[in-house]
Amino acid sequence: MPYEQLKLSTDKPVLSWANHDLGHEETKMAKNVASLPFVFKHVALMPDVHLGKGALVGSVLATKDAVIPAAVGVDIGCGMAAIKTPFVAEQLEGKLKKIRLDIESAIPLGFNQNKEVEKDASNWQGWTHFKDLHRGVQDVQGKAMKQLGSLGGGNHFIEVCLDTEDSVWLMLHSGSRNIGNRLAQCHISTAKELAKLAGNRLPDPDLAYFIAGTPEFAAYWRDLQWAQNYARYNRDVMMARFKRIVEKHLAGGKPIKPLLEVNCHHNYAEKEVHFGEDVYVTRKGAVRAREEDYGIIPGSMGAKSFIVKGKGNHESYCSCSHGAGRLMSRKKAKKQFSLDDLVTQTQGVECRKDGGVLDEIPGAYKPIDEVMNNQADLVEVVATLKQVVCVKG
């Protein structure tokens, strides 16, 4: 589906791939962002767009000489990683529960962290720059080191999947853990203080921003890049452990070479060139999809997921959706669905089926096929996956 320009009275147009009308609060949020003076050309909304904080989740902003910390969000660098293995479906028979239990034992979930700092974590080159980060996080380096290689909670997950040719894929979703959250909160607070002192009339306090060339901008950009690198490496460490578990069960512990590897952010900001100009692009719940870029678009814990390749659509700032997108809040999902619904909707998947993951039930998410149909001009599908093991944070 090509995009449509929303009928909004804003300084900059809002282009949407969502193929549905935005709700009142979503419309207000889109208008707030599009009214900012430093927004470049237009705002792009992906097919999975829904309410966020300050900016919509599933939105792509290009800005000139300014960046909005809350638009990036608090899970800086959150994203996906996946590898295609040479294993096939029949090799998994009778082993799914053992694999799930090993994952849950080897990779800390939720608020948990590693008991000791592992070699992979301590060797990360990013630690040499930790002392340069915001003073508000200098007391948590030990925690950050122990959390490298941990999943986190919410909608973060680890999955064993099969594609349509019965090849086995390993996939996971995670970000920058507590350290990314702490850094984001420090800078969001600073941006709000600056806006208040300057008397800036913002349509939403969460749209407080930093201007390029200022010390505050430089400090945020430095910390942002650090946290994005931490998030990417966090996924690498987890994927290495995950791969060893699957190798133990399917190859007697013999290492295998992945046939394809993908690791992509979907909550982040980078400096890019669009329409011939240098801009800061913030993807809040969106994946970069330049030509030949590989990306990952997961469904819910009972639905299909997709490995994609970008088409380089310039109107979307070379972006695509980051998933199915929530259809309802976690609170509403818990009220509307029962454990029996969860069991039914995750049939055939080796996963937890208890109240702790009820808010992640597939019915709480938009239909992934509809989301994919709406972005046929943004990406091409490389592989269609269906999970057989799902571990939630």
Q: Is 94 annotated as a binding residue?
A: no
Q: Is 265 annotated as a binding residue?
A: no
166 DSSP assignment: -
**Angle between helical axes of 96-106 and 215-251 (0-180°, round to 10):** 140
Distance CA 211, CA 177 (A): 27
Q: Is 300 annotated as a binding residue?
A: yes
State the greatest distance between any 2 C-alpha atoms of the chain, in Å, as a whole number: 65
Q: Is 223 annotated as a binding residue?
A: no
Q: Is 274 annotated as a binding residue?
A: no
Q: Is 87 annotated as a binding residue?
A: no
Q: Is 323 annotated as a binding residue?
A: yes
133 DSSP assignment: S
- What does 175-222 look like in DSSP terms, one character per residue? --HHHHHHHHHHHHHHHHHHHHHHT---SSGGG--EETTSHHHHHHHH
Paired residues of 14 in beta bridges: 43
Q: Is 187 annotated as a binding residue?
A: no
Q: Is 129 annotated as a binding residue?
A: no
Q: Is 266 annotated as a binding residue?
A: yes
The phi and psi torsions of 155 (rounded to 5 degrees) equal -95, 15
Q: Does residue 322 have an active-site annotation?
A: yes
Report in angstroms the alpha-carbon separations of 116 from 51, 93, 103, 120, 149: 38, 34, 17, 11, 11
Tokens of 340: 């029996």
Q: Is 267 annotated as a binding residue?
A: yes
Q: Which residues are annotated as a binding site for GMP?
A: 155-159, 266-267, 298-301, 305, 322-325, 392
Can you say which residues are annotated as belonging to the binding site? Answer: 75, 155-159, 173, 266-267, 298-301, 305, 322-325, 392
Please give the positions annotated as active site.
Answer: 322
